[in-house]
């Protein structure tokens, strides 16, 4: 029984293309596809084409056709098998971030972020609310990708139940294509109706303006493959046009923002006069370090991981606080990632990519010396990110951190605060101490002149990204030793909570 | 019983440093270490520091000390745990290539390419000849790295048997350090003498002029850590000096080489007049494609992988031959890697790194459209590689391919040969056919003017890198269709042999 009311009704009408028409149309389609691919190669776009649906053979055939028609030098095909252990030890989306192509290239996927939620929902391993939450998460993920220059072009290859049945019966008789299909196809077919309704819900929830679904009737090889190709051409062309016009608008808004801090704000409210006595400092350092060593080991044994991010003005003491933390842990368990200018592989991808790539495996700790917050600090203030880009970054960052935290990663963010006078003292000290001179550059002085704007941006950031699972910890860092002890204590108490929760 | 004759004798004499001396020396050592690290940051060097030996606690302590003294922004520590499945599915050295730092940065390793051979030899899972072969392989690997700008600085932390015994007994009583040591330490201690003699053999075989071992007596914490640091400073300084002077010499020899081809050579001996009739071509294409599809599936099921590399003059038909091959295989099983200019992450590492990173997992196929042979072709002829670099590349490539082949990877290399006249016809065709115009650039014409030099370099390459496990297949490509069929047939026959062997 076909319910003509659902999204697949129009893909059960018996669309087909005859041999002669196919033969006539293919050369033109191929030429256009190559032309679009060359246009993409010269653009800052990195399209991801997703081929989904219940027709395994059809997906393989469509993928094969696209790869045959496209220039291999600009396209990568990705068939996602079962996740590797390196993938299982990180949040679920890590493997998808991993496969994003660099600007100018394309990726064609079979299997994607839709596969698991759909299968899990069909088999009742995921309830309706969680399923919907997953679909909304996917929607946000895709919107972010599109805005970052990764057009998402999604095909759903649909077979009516009766055709699917015949197809599987035929496959059973043919050893070669049986292998292409995989054992689970028969099990899945028994739940055809359930798959259909779950898929329908998935498609409805995730067919957005920026990343619409293209449902393609898959029964006829020629119709399916030609339709996929022509739809792809149109979608790539549109993506290019959208990008060009949004860039033109953005260009006008790309100038640096120079926000002014409020008279009273979270940073100015800090009491920077707090200090710690030498004796007390040394005792605390020893005690807290020992405690951290024990807790980091328990974290490792529990197969959990931890991420610490440090931000703050130049010379606030991020490096020395990190050194004290690191010294307390088994050096085999942590990595310090110092975030500077991106490499070209990094700047060819969405800005969060370079942070995703360094996520720790289970049982490990990653410390970021400066972090993804650069997007709403230096990139905002220097105009490297357009207004659209940094202003949507708060939500993207919150989503990123929510995924880390859901996976069980202990996450803390530190803002080390000093006064402009203290910074000046430290800069001068660096200039006059021979082995510290390398630490001070013209850029530090330039940043210093923008102190107020940085402070205002930091307040915006703290306000918009302080969550219970990923809180900002404001650290009075005028007294370096006070700051080190506070950082150590905070990490210990957070770890202790996380490990007993 | 201490045999003073072995490499560890000098590390059993009771070296120690008292607290006062340590306290006095540390600031100077730290300052020097930071200074060397900054010098490295501005150099094209990417040192790898290896901390080995039987003293687990000592290794962790030395690593922690180095990380505490160095600037975290230029050093990465790597403690190699058991290989992940992604690592196990590739040749053994893949995981070591993976961790090479970019130029200007350092890596400090605990666990390395020595670990497995030594443990396997001790437990008799590896015989003497294989062990020696492994050690020679390591020697070549390290020499290559050093020549490519990756100084290898190796420490062996040694404990006399009696000290080791006391140390383990103490560890047993202290839960914190017991965890640092790991269960196998006690099992290993039972074989102390055997470990000592195998390690001694390993060190003797791999202590070379370019990568000597530094054996450090490990009993006293202060002595060990300070000795490691001061030795490291000296080694980094020496590496810098050696590099600077070798660069100065190389500079004089960096001009492009323009070899002349011999009157008769393997390429000129090819009969380029061979052709295939249309009817025969179509029949063969269908038959061989079906065969390749079947064989690729068997390869997948056998968990083996295949690597195909294509070289030849511009317009020789590499792309179209690759397309025919690809079309015959399940698109989920292969990747085509098009080799162009390296990214900055790639050019910051030894030249083979960018090829290692794309090695297929088990059951997969990688096709390289141009390959690591660029080193001895375009890089040689354009002077991108100095004489030393391209002339030692033949041996490095042979070693690379031997490792692939030993791992069971089926490997084939194709040289597609056309005449200069045919190339000219194809260039002109590209210029006058609208949708082919993008394929022809000024660079193609420039390369064409160096035809003779390229041919001579190709002959050198074929002569020096044709091995039975990784043969060059010369393909008469004047008739494109002949070439496609020959490539298909050759891959099929090689696969069939490999799968029945």
B257 within a domain of the structure (yes/no): no
pLDDT at A24 over 60: yes
Structure tokens at B456: 């001579």
CB B48 within 8 A of CB B142: no
- Say which CATH number the domain at B368 has: 3.40.50.300
B265 within a domain of the structure (yes/no): no
d(CA B334, CA B365): 5
pLDDT at A325 over 90: yes
CB B346 within 8 A of CB B353: yes
Quote the pLDDT of residue A432.
87
Rounded to 5°, the CA angle B483-B486-B491 comes to 125
Alpha-carbon distance B129 to nearest alpha carbon in chain A (angstroms): 33
Using CA atoms, how far residue A236 sits from A32, A43, A59, A348, in Å, is 11, 11, 20, 18
Question: Tokens 């290859």 sit at which residue?
Answer: A157
pLDDT at A253 over 50: yes
d(CA A216, CA A62): 11
**Same domain for A90 and A14:** yes
Q: How far is CA A309 from the centre of its chain?
A: 17
**Same domain for B300 and B151:** no
A190 within a domain of the structure (yes/no): yes
A327 at interface of B, judged by CB pairs closer than 8 A: yes
B259 within a domain of the structure (yes/no): no
B35 within a domain of the structure (yes/no): yes
Chain A CB contacts of B84 under 8 Å are: 84-86
d(CA A348, CA A105): 10
Quote the pLDDT of residue B2.
45
Residue by residue, pLDDT tens for chain B (501 residues) are 444 467 898 888 899 999 999 999 999 999 999 999 999 999 999 999 999 998 989 999 999 999 999 998 899 998 887 889 999 999 999 999 999 999 999 999 998 999 999 999 999 999 999 999 999 999 999 999 999 999 999 999 999 999 999 988 888 888 777 777 877 888 899 999 999 999 999 999 999 999 999 999 999 999 999 999 999 999 999 999 988 887 777 665 566 667 888 888 999 999 999 999 999 999 999 999 999 999 999 999 999 999 999 999 999 999 999 999 999 999 999 999 999 999 999 999 999 999 999 999 999 999 999 999 999 999 999 999 988 899 999 999 999 999 999 999 999 999 999 999 999 999 999 988 877 777 888 889 999 999 999 999 999 999 999 998 899 999 999 999 999 999 999 999 999 999 997
- Helix, strand, coil content of chain A in percent (nearest 5): 60, 10, 30
Beta bridge partners of A107: A48, A76
Give the residue-averaged pLDDT of A387-411: 94
Phi, psi for residue B155 in degrees, rounded to 5: -110, 140
Quote the pLDDT of residue B334.
94
- Name the pLDDT band for A359 (thresholds 50, 70, 90): very high
Quote the pLDDT of residue A180.
78
DSSP code, position A193: H
CA B396, B397, B402, B407 dihedral sign is positive
**Same domain for A336 and A200:** no
How many residue pairs bridge chain A and chain B with CB atoms within 8 Å of each other?
A: 107
B473 within a domain of the structure (yes/no): yes
Paired sense of beta strands B152-158 and B410-417, if any: unpaired
Give the residue-averaged pLDDT of A179-186: 80
Alpha-carbon distance A311 to nearest alpha carbon in chain B (angstroms): 15
A336 at interface of B, judged by CB pairs closer than 8 A: yes
- Name the pLDDT band for A173 (thresholds 50, 70, 90): confident
pLDDT at A1 over 50: no
CB A75 within 8 A of CB A64: no
**Same domain for B374 and B246:** no
d(CA A485, CA B256): 59
Write the residue in A176, A322, A331 that is nearest to B60 by C-beta: A331
Closest residue of chain A to B324, computed from CA coordinates: A68
Structure tokens at B232: 């490291």
**Same domain for A186 and A116:** yes
d(CA B109, CA A249): 49
**Same domain for A418 and A297:** yes
Percent of chain A at pLDDT > 70 equals 97
**Same domain for A196 and A328:** no
DSSP code, position B268: T
Quote the pLDDT of residue B224.
97
3-state secondary structure (DSSP) of residue A492: helix
ipTM for the predicted complex comes to 0.85
Examine the fold and report which residue of A199, A228, A248 is the final residue of a domain before the chain moves on: A248
A229 within a domain of the structure (yes/no): yes
Write the residue in A67, A86, A323 that is nearest to B326 by C-beta: A67
**Same domain for A405 and A298:** yes
**Same domain for B289 and B245:** no
Chain B CB contacts of A85 under 8 Å are: 84-86
Examine the fold and report which residue of A204, A231, A248 is the final residue of a domain before the chain moves on: A248
Quote the pLDDT of residue A345.
94
**Same domain for A159 and A23:** yes
Closest residue of chain A to B110, computed from CA coordinates: A332
A294 at interface of B, judged by CB pairs closer than 8 A: yes
d(CA B299, CA B372): 24
B174 at interface of A, judged by CB pairs closer than 8 A: no
Quote the pLDDT of residue B1.
42
CB B188 within 8 A of CB B54: yes
Quote the pLDDT of residue A166.
92
Question: Using N-to-C axis directions, what is the helix angle for A115-122 and A128-147, rounded to 10°?
Answer: 170
**Same domain for B304 and B193:** no
- Structurally, chain A folds into a number of domains equal to 2
Quote the pLDDT of residue B266.
92
Question: Over the range B18-38, which residues count as b (16 or more CB within 10 Å of their CB) and which as e?
Answer: eeeebeeebeebbebbbbbbe
Burial degree of A59 (CB within 10 A; 0-12, 13-18, 19+): buried
Quote the pLDDT of residue A252.
55
Alpha-carbon distance A182 to nearest alpha carbon in chain B (angstroms): 12
Q: How many CB atoms lie within 10 A of CB A264?
A: 8
SS3 letters across A217-271: ECCCHHHHHHHHHHHHHHHHHHHHHHHHHHHHHHHHCCCCCCCCCCCCCCCCCCC
Q: Which domain holds residue A469?
A: 278-500
Mutate to test the interface with A, among B26, B36, B70, B73 (most CBs of A within 10 A): B73
- Give residue-wise pLDDT tens across range A332-352: 999 999 999 999 999 999 999
A418 within a domain of the structure (yes/no): yes
3-state secondary structure (DSSP) of residue A372: helix
Quote the pLDDT of residue A440.
85
Q: Work out the mean pLDDT of chain A and round it to a whole number.
A: 92
Structural element, H or E, at residue A367: strand A365-369
* pTM for the structure as a whole: 0.90
In sequence order, what are the residues at sequence separation of 6 or more whose Cβ sits closer than 8 angstroms to the Cβ of residue B3? B9
Write the residue in B63, B72, B338 that is nearest to A323 by C-beta: B72
Q: How many CB atoms lie within 10 A of CB B264?
A: 8
**Same domain for A189 and A62:** yes
């Amino acid at each position: 029984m076909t319910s003509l009311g659902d999204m697949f009704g129009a893909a059960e009408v018996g669309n087909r293309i005859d041999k002669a028409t196919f033969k006539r149309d293919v050369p033109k389609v191929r030429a256009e596809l190559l032309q679009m691919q060359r246009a993409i190669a010269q653009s800052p776009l990195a399209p991801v084409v997703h081929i989904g649906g219940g027709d395994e053979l059809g997906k393989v055939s469509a993928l094969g056709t696209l790869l045959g028609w496209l220039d291999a030098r600009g396209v990568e095909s990705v068939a996602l098998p079962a996740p590797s252990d390196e993938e299982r030890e990180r949040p679920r989306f890590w493997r998808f971030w991993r496969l994003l192509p660099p600007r100018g290239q394309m990726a064609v996927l079979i299997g994607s972020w839709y596969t698991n939620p759909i299968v899990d929902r069909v088999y009742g391993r995921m309830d309706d609310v969680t399923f919907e939450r997953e679909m909304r998460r996917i929607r946000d993920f895709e919107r972010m990708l599109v805005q970052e220059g990764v057009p998402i072009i999604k095909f759903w290859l649909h077979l009516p139940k009766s055709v699917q049945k015949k197809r599987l019966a035929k496959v059973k008789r043919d050893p070669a294509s049986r292998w292409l299909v995989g054992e689970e196809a028969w099990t899945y077919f028994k739940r055809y109706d359930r798959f259909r309704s779950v898929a329908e819900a998935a498609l409805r929830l995730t067919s957005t303006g920026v990343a619409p679904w293209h449902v393609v009737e898959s029964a006829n090889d020629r119709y399916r493959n030609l339709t996929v190709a022509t739809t792809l051409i149109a979608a790539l062309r549109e993506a290019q046009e959208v990008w060009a016009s949004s860039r033109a608008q953005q260009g006008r808004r790309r100038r640096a923002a120079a926000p002014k801090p409020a008279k009273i704000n979270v940073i100015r409210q800090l009491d920077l006069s707090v200090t710690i006595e030498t004796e007390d400092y040394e005792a605390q350092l020893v005690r807290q370090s020992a405690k951290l060593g024990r807790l980091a080991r328990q974290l490792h044994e529990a197969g959990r991981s931890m991420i610490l991010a440090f931000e703050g003005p130049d010379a606030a003491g991020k490096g020395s606080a990190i050194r004290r933390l690191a010294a307390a842990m088994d050096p085999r368990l942590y990595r310090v990632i110092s975030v500077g200018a991106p490499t070209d592989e990094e700047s060819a991808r969405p800005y969060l990519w370079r942070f995703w790539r360094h996520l720790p495996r289970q049982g490990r700790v990653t410390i970021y010396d400066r972090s993804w917050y650069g997007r709403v600090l230096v990139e905002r203030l220097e105009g490297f990110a357009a207004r659209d880009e940094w202003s949507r970054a708060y939500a993207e960052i919150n989503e990123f951190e929510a995924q880390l935290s859901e996976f069980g990663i202990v996450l803390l963010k530190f803002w080390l605060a000093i006064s402009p006078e203290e910074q000046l003292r430290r800069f001068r000290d660096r200039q006059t101490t021979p082995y510290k001179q390398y630490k001070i550059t013209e850029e530090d002085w330039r940043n210093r002149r923008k102190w107020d704007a940085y402070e205002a941006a930091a307040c915006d950031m703290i306000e918009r990204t302080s969550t219970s699972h990923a809180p900002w910890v404001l650290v009075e860092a005028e007294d370096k030793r006070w700051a080190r002890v506070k950082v150590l204590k905070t990490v210990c108490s957070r770890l202790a909570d996380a490990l007993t929760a």
